[in-house]
Amino acid sequence: MELIKLTLPNGDIIEVTSGTTIAEAAASLSGRLAKDAVCGRFNGELKDLSYRLTENGKLEIVTTDSPDGVDVMRHTVSHVMAQAVQRLWPGTKLAIGPTIQDGFYYDFDMEHTLSSDDLEKIEAEMAKIIAEDYEITREELAPEAARALFESQNATYKLELIEGLDEQISVYRQGEFVDLCRGPHLPSTGRIKAFKLLSVAGAYWRGDSRNKMLQRVYGTAFFKKSQLDEYLKRLEEAAKRDHRKIGRELDLFSIVDEGPGFPFFHPKGMVLRNVLENFWREEHIKRGYSEVKTPIMLREELWHRSGHWDHYKDNMYFSEIENQRYAVKPMNCPGGILMYQRKIHSYRDLPIRMGELGLVHRHELSGTLHGLMRVRSFTQDDAHIFMRPDQVEAEIIGVIDLIDYVYKIFGFPYHVELSTKPKNAMGDDAIWDMATDALRKALENKGLEYKVNEGDGAFYGPKIDFHLQDCVGRTWQCATIQLDFLLPERFDLYYIGEDGQKHRPVMLHRVVFGALERFIAILTEHFAGAFPTWLAPVQVMLIPVAEDHLPYAREIAAKLSEFGIRYEIDERNEKIGRKIREAQLQQIPYMLVVGTNEMNEGTVAVRHRRQGDLGKFGLERFIEQITSEIKEKKLD
C-alpha cells in the first residue's frame, strides 16, 4: 500500500495510506478532533471530510470552533432550508443560497408569497430533515450531465449559472434534494444543532433590477444553542437601538417617499452633523490638511479618463447640459486630481494633503436602502494625499494614527484588513505588488495585526480597511486607506523634482468616518441615542418648576449660551416629574431644575440622564464641569 505524507499546521508530519479520507486522518490524530471536524483544508483548499487524500500535502482539520467551520455549517443549513421550502411548496425554483456575515440566505422563485408567519413552518420542516440525518454526498458531473440534471428539474437559475462552463461541475445531494454547489458541506444533516430563520425580503436575480424579483429568506445557525441564544439577544438589543427608530424619536433625520435614499437632516440632526464636521476639520488642520470643495457634476469624459466609466457607470447618475453629457460624482477623487493639476508643483510642495467633505451620489437598488446606513446621497470625509515615493510609508502611518485617534475618541475597538488586487483591476501586477507591499510594510511598522482579503481591493489600488466594533458586538467597515499609482499615470500628474525633471507623484485616497451619514447611524445605534455630552444636540434642558421661575431659567440660559453650551427651556405648564421624564427620553445629558430655593440661592439642581440627582451646584461650578467634559470629549 502506498503511503503519503501529510504536513500538519504545527509542522508535524504524519503518514497515511493513499486513499485515506480527511475524516479518517482526523480520527488517527485524535478522537476529539474527529468529533469536532467539519471539513479539511488540503493544500489551501477546503474539502469535505469524505475527500480522499492521494498525494503528499499540507492538511489542516477545520473544526466547529473555527470561522471556516461555522461558514461550512451555515451553508449546509441553507441547503436544508431550500429542501424544506421545496417540500412545502413543490415547484419552487432555487436561485442562490450563500453564507453572509452572521448567517445565510436563499433566494426562491415561487408562486406562494412568503411572510414571517411561514418561517415557523419552514423551521419545522427543517427540523424533520435534520432528524432524518441524511448523508450529504458530493458528485462531480460533466457539463452535459449537469445540464441534463437541472433541465429535468426545470431549474432555470441553475442552468443559467452553469451556462458556458466546460469543466467538471459539482453537485450535492441529501435525500431527495440536489443542488449545484462548490461545497464543502457537513457530512450529514444530523450534524446541524441550532438554527433560526430571521426574515423575508425581496431580491432581484443577480442584483439586477431588470431581472425578476425573487423571495429571499435570511437565517443564522450555530454549533451550540447557547451561541444562538446569545446572538438572538444581540439582535433584540440591536432592534432597540435601530437608528431609524431613534432618529424619529429624537427628531434627527427622516427619509420621505418623495426622495427614497436621500435623507433630510432636521435641526437637531444638523447640530450633531456639524459637531462631527467641526471635529473633523480641527483634527485635519492639526495634521497639515487643506480643505477643498469640488463640484458635484463634471463632464462624462472625465469619468472615462479616470476609469470609473468602465468600472462604476451602473452606479452613477447622468445629466445633459447644452448637448454635453455630465455625470454626478460617485466619488471625489477625479475632482481632487483636477485640483492638484491647477498649478505646477515642486518636490518641496509635497506631500499635499487635501481634505474634502464631498457630497456624492450613487445609484443603489431600492431593496438595499436602509435608513442612513445605505443611501443614494451621502458625504464622504475624503482626503487625497499627493506625495513623493519616498514619503509613502510616513503618510500611510500618519493616516493610521489619525484613524486610531478618532476611533478611540468614540470608544470603538477595531480590526484591520488588507485587500489586494481584484479581477477587474487597472494596471499591471508590478505596480500592484509595489502598492500592496507599501501598505503591508506600514501596517507591520505600526505593529498592527491584519487579515488579508485576496482580490478585494479597489479597481485602481490595494487598500487597508478599518472595521470598528460597536457595543453590541457588530463590526462596521468605515475608514479606508487606498494607495494609487494608477490614476496619477492616467491623468499624467507630475511634480518637478530636485533634478529639475518631471516625476510622477503617488496618490493616497482615504476616509476616516467613511460616509458621514452612515457614521451618524452607527453612533446613534452604538450610544442608543445617548450621545456623549460633546456630541449631544441638546446638552442641557432647563426645567423651571413654575412660571415664576422662567425669568431665572432664561438668565441661566444666557450664561450657558456665552460658553457655547447647547440648551433648551421647557416652558410648558406641566408637572416637574413629567418634564424630567421627557428630557430623559430625549437622552439630554443634563437637566437643570430651578425653583424658588435655587432662584434665591443663585444655584441649580442638577440631574444627569444616567446618574440621576447630583445635588445643587453653583452655576459657575456646573459650567466649569460641563465645559471640561465637552472639551475633553468624555464618554459617559
Residue 294, phi then psi, degrees to nearest 5: -115, 155
DSSP 355: E
Q: Is 428 helix (H, G, I), strand (E, B) or coil?
A: coil
Residue 415 corresponds to which amino acid? H
Nearest to 78 by CA among 163, 183, 3, 169: 183
Instruction: State the DSSP H helix or E strand holding residue 13, giving kind and residue range, or none if neither.
Output: strand 13-17
Say if residues 255 and 264 touch (Cβ distance below 8 Å): yes
Nearest to 218 by CA among 93, 97, 109: 97
Catalytic site residue from 273, 333, 484, 587:
333
DSSP 505: P
Catalytic site residue from 158, 509, 526, 549:
509
What is the crossing angle of helices 392-410 and 267-286, to 10°? 140
Kind of pairing between the strands at 20-21 and 414-419: unpaired
Catalytic site residue from 308, 384, 474, 579:
384
Catalytic site residue from 215, 380, 482, 586:
380
Cell representation of residue 551:
425669568
Say if residues 477 and 514 touch (Cβ distance below 8 Å): yes
Cell representation of residue 87:
417540500
C-alpha 97: how far from chain center: 21
Say if residues 532 and 285 touch (Cβ distance below 8 Å): no
Dihedral of CA atoms 403, 466, 513, 609 in degrees, nearest 10, equals -90
Place of cell 465637552: 630
Task: Please say if 382 is a catalytic residue.
Answer: yes
Return the percent helix, strand and coil in the chain, to nearest 5: 40, 30, 30
Task: Please say if 384 is a catalytic residue.
Answer: yes
Catalytic site residue from 41, 196, 362, 474:
362
Q: How far apart are the first and last CA of the chain?
A: 69
Task: Please say if 509 is a catalytic residue.
Answer: yes
Alpha helices in 348-415 (DSSP H): 392-410
Kind of pairing between the strands at 450-453 and 414-419: parallel
DSSP 288: T
Say if residues 87 and 234 touch (Cβ distance below 8 Å): no
Q: Peptide bond preceding 184: is omega within 30 degrees of 0, i.e. cis?
A: yes
What is the crossing angle of helices 118-132 and 67-88, to 10°? 110
Cell representation of residue 344:
505646477
Kind of pairing between the strands at 590-594 and 567-569: unpaired
Instruction: State the DSSP H helix or E strand holding residue 318, giving kind and residue range, or none if neither.
Output: strand 317-321
Say if residues 502 and 548 touch (Cβ distance below 8 Å): no
Catalytic site residue from 48, 381, 382, 465:
382
Half-sphere exposure of 61 (CA within 13 A, CB side): 24
Phi-psi group of 360: left, alpha or beta (phi > 0 → left; psi -120 to 50 → alpha; rest → beta): beta
Q: What is the spatial distance between Cα 593 and Cα 595, in angstroms, rounded to a whole number?
A: 7
Nearest to 37 by CA among 63, 10, 2: 63
What DSSP string runs through 557-596? Answer: HHHHHHTT--EEE--SS--HHHHHHHHHHTT-SEEEEE-H
Catalytic site residue from 463, 510, 526, 607:
463
Active site positions, annotated = 333, 362, 380, 382, 384, 463, 509
